[in-house]
Chains A and B, each alone.
Chain A
Amino acid sequence: MFVAIRFTLLILVSMGLLYPLALTGLGQAFFPQQANGSLIHNATGQTIGSSLIGQAFTRPEYFHPRPAANGYDAANSGGSNLGPTSKKLIDRITVDTSGYQQKNGAKQPIPVDAVTASASNLDPHISVANALRQVPRVAHARNVSPKRIKALVLQLTEKPLFSEAPYLNVLTLNLALETKNSF
């Protein structure tokens, strides 16, 4: 009994406290940017978010992220958890789809990621198909040539190791739109 208690305390102190605290020290020392949430700042030095965490965008001059179950609340992650035969899901998708059509035209099919909610509620990415579909709207809102917007999209497209298909970070993309005042 006492062995069990002493052993528990030993593991609690060493692995429950020492191990995470030591790692915090190491992480802060070697990778301070990443360890503190990969926060990014705008030109004025203001923290505007994390490069890893998606944000809600609704204005036409920005690229829009995927639908989120909980409105990009970064303190409460999670998906819709609706199954494919759920009426709630199909209703939501129907609404989102017609909204997307209205904003981005109804001529081409809609990329599936544009109307489905992510798992985390914080998906920072959209597919290239989705981004390209939004180019005319953004160009129109910003009153620049769609070609230039498209070029930016292609420039910021990522295809890292082990990724299934290329994608874009919406916040990075929109930040680029902002910082390149030429648009």
Chain B
Amino acid sequence: MFEITYLLFFLVASLLITVCLGGYMAKVFNYQPTLLTPIFEPIEKLSLYITGIQSTGSQHWKQYAFDFLLFNLVCGFVTFLILSFQHLLPLNPLHLAGMEPWQAFNTICSFVTNTNWQSYSGEVALSNFSQIAGITFMMIVGAVSGLAVCVGFLRGLTNRHSGNSGLGHFYQDFLKSLLYVFLPLLLVGSLFFISQGVPQTLQQQVSVTALEGAPQNIAFGPVASLLTIKQLGTNGGGFFNANSAHPFENPNPLTNFIEILMELAIPMGLVYMFGVWLKNRMQGWVIWGAMMAVFLSFLWMGNAFEQAGNPILSHLPSISVGIDQQSSSLQSGGNMEGKEVRFGVLPSMLFTVATTGTSTGAVNNMHDSLTPIGGLVPLADMMLNIIFGGVGVGLMGFLLYGIIAVFLTGLMVGRTPEIFGKKIEKPEIILASIAILLHPLLILVPTAIATMNDFGLSSLNNLGPHGLSEILYAYTSAAANNGSAFAGLNANTPWYNISLGIVILLGRYISIIALLAIAGSLLSKTKMEPGPGTLPTNTLLFGGVWLGVILIVGALTFVPVLVLGPLADQLAMLNGTLF
């Protein structure tokens, strides 16, 4: 009963957010006035003025991509300095030392790309100044850049600038994303979280004497402002090491529910906005429906296996009565290792599916401790990386698979393939192939290298097939710009800091550049009017085929490693084999 009510609330809330935020963004990025225009227009103009941007004319995709890259580079460099020299900067009451260079490299790669993989532990390694001017700042840059780029991409795909070969203006899109979309939600969201118990203070720690008399040092700081952008921007890098499992970062079931919705809000809205821009809302809903179908299937699968618990615990040899993992009115039951009591199983798994689908990477439970199939769910979710996906890049990835899907289906109805009225030819297929090749390359190859070397294996927290899953999860998370982890793996070693940093950078920028290039290339083609001979892409049938292509391309690539990792682990668990 709880399950049904909970999911019903979730679906209704998701639909509301999709329509409201999506409709709003469709207007904002189409330069139409909205309620907030009187407030933000002057700020936007002032910002352009003081940064010396004179013209906001539409840019060719190369210029757009260049501005995006250069800006990200500068931001990364500035943050690198902040992290490395935090001991010289203010708001460091605990006198924490500057970050080691390789860890700082890994951190900036991770945060500028909206990955937010953390090889450090927030409350141990970062001063409050680093948490706000370094981490919070980078989170905003990564997320807002992602949204801006996606807006540019969608403009190219939907011919927003008719008679113009441009995708829009990067800095203007960035400002619009930040001011009109992020800022209002950040302010409202942060205040809500503070009201629920999320700290927002410039203190870094408080010492108390616990009830039994032992001292307890409680770490906190400006958590709420970071938490909001972490969730809304699908960033995921926690203030605390335990991320959204930490009671200060996720105090109760309601904040948990809101955090989940915040992860999904912009990616969901973008799908709707795309439909509006295409003047084909049905197309938006077909994509939304396809994503939601996979989302719910993953959730169902993960929840079933987590709720079933760990069979080994039911037959511990030396224990007479056994451990009760059944769900009842007195406990949530299930596999509770690495989960919080206030969340239980389903809200934990909903968070897991949302955070890995959207490339957020925040966690409210420890994925490393999930049952093997329960852990396969977030892995698979990241391997696809398009179940709503990260802010901006998720929809882009979904449309990338769409290019492959229309290529095959177009052929099957006897037409040279087209997507949204644009012909798919060699350049698009080459670019799409690069983007599709990239994912397995970045995941499978470094995982293979790590599994055969001590520098890879010595970081493992778990042995046997679960160890393989730990390494696989790390590179999958990096390539998908997710940032969540099978956190048992000690990633703060030179090998992991460097290799993961590189995977993160390539995973982000190569695919974005390839997709922008596709948008640029499609933009220059004549749009064909749909006729009865055109294969409609806004149907249930095509949605199904689209999903089929995504699942088959994704599954075929990763099946062997998943068999040796999670599936072998599952078989071991059922047989009671320990490692």
A–B interface present (Cβ within 8 A):
yes
Contacts A27-B194, A59-B212 hold; do A84 and B248 have CB atoms under 8 A apart?
no
Q: Is A8 an interface residue (CB 8 A)?
A: yes
Q: Which of B336-353 contact A (CB under 8 A)?
A: 336-347
Q: Are A16 and B210 in contact (CB under 8 A)?
A: no
Q: Is A49 an interface residue (CB 8 A)?
A: yes
Taken residue by residue from 72 to 102, chain A's Cβ proximity to chain B (1 for < 8 Å, 0 otherwise) reads as: 1111111111111111011001100110010
Q: Is B458 an interface residue (CB 8 A)?
A: no
Q: Are B208 and A3 in contact (CB under 8 A)?
A: no
Q: Are B171 and A80 in contact (CB under 8 A)?
A: no
Which residue of B is nearest A109, CB measured?
B324
Q: Please, how many residues of chain A have a CB less than 8 angstroms from a CB on the other chain?
A: 107
**What's the least CB distance linking A79 to chain B, in Å?**
4
Q: Is A6 an interface residue (CB 8 A)?
A: yes
Q: Are B338 and A34 in contact (CB under 8 A)?
A: no
* Cross-interface CB contact of B206 among A37, A55, A119, cutoff 8 Å: A37
Q: Are A34 and B195 in contact (CB under 8 A)?
A: yes
Q: Select the stretch in B220-228, B294-302, B420-428, B525-533 that faces chain A.
A: B220-228
Q: Is B181 an interface residue (CB 8 A)?
A: no
Q: Is B368 an interface residue (CB 8 A)?
A: yes
Contacts A78-B241, A119-B363 hold; do A87 and B2 have CB atoms under 8 A apart?
no
Q: Is A124 an interface residue (CB 8 A)?
A: yes
Q: Are B253 and A162 in contact (CB under 8 A)?
A: yes
Report, as a range, how many residues of chain B touch the other chain: 35 or more
Q: Which of A147-183 contact B (CB under 8 A)?
A: 160-167, 171, 174-175, 178
Q: Are B319 and A76 in contact (CB under 8 A)?
A: no
Interface centre among A2, A38, A39, A54 (most CB of B within 10 A): A38
Q: Are A15 and B137 in contact (CB under 8 A)?
A: yes
Q: Are A120 and B247 in contact (CB under 8 A)?
A: yes
Q: Are A90 and B316 in contact (CB under 8 A)?
A: yes
Q: Are A12 and B78 in contact (CB under 8 A)?
A: yes
A142 to B206, CA, bound (A): 31
Q: Is A145 an interface residue (CB 8 A)?
A: no
Which A residues are in CB contact (< 8 Å) with B224? Answer: 23, 27, 35
* Cross-interface CB contact of B321 among A82, A94, A109, A123, cutoff 8 Å: A109
Interface centre among B194, B345, B579 (most CB of A within 10 A): B194
Q: Are A90 and B312 in contact (CB under 8 A)?
A: yes
Q: Are B322 and A110 in contact (CB under 8 A)?
A: yes
Contacts A4-B74, A35-B201, A55-B216 hold; do A48 and B338 have CB atoms under 8 A apart?
no
Which B residues are in CB contact (< 8 Å) with A122? Answer: 242, 246-247
Q: Are B248 and A83 in contact (CB under 8 A)?
A: no
A20 to B133, CA, bound (A): 9
Q: Is B115 an interface residue (CB 8 A)?
A: no
Q: Are B335 and A84 in contact (CB under 8 A)?
A: yes
Q: Is A128 an interface residue (CB 8 A)?
A: yes
Q: Are A129 and B216 in contact (CB under 8 A)?
A: no
Q: Are A84 and B218 in contact (CB under 8 A)?
A: no
Chain A to chain B: the 7 pairs with minimum beta-carbon distance, closest first:
A16-B137, A164-B344, A81-B488, A119-B245, A77-B242, A79-B366, A127-B331
Other contacts beyond A7-B71, A74-B218, A112-B331: 9, CB < 8 A: A11-B140, A24-B222, A28-B201, A84-B337, A85-B579, A110-B324, A116-B338, A121-B242, A160-B252
13 pairs of residues in contact across A and B, judged by CB atoms under 8 Å: A7-B74, A24-B222, A31-B195, A37-B199, A46-B209, A73-B216, A77-B246, A82-B368, A112-B325, A116-B338, A119-B363, A164-B6, A165-B327
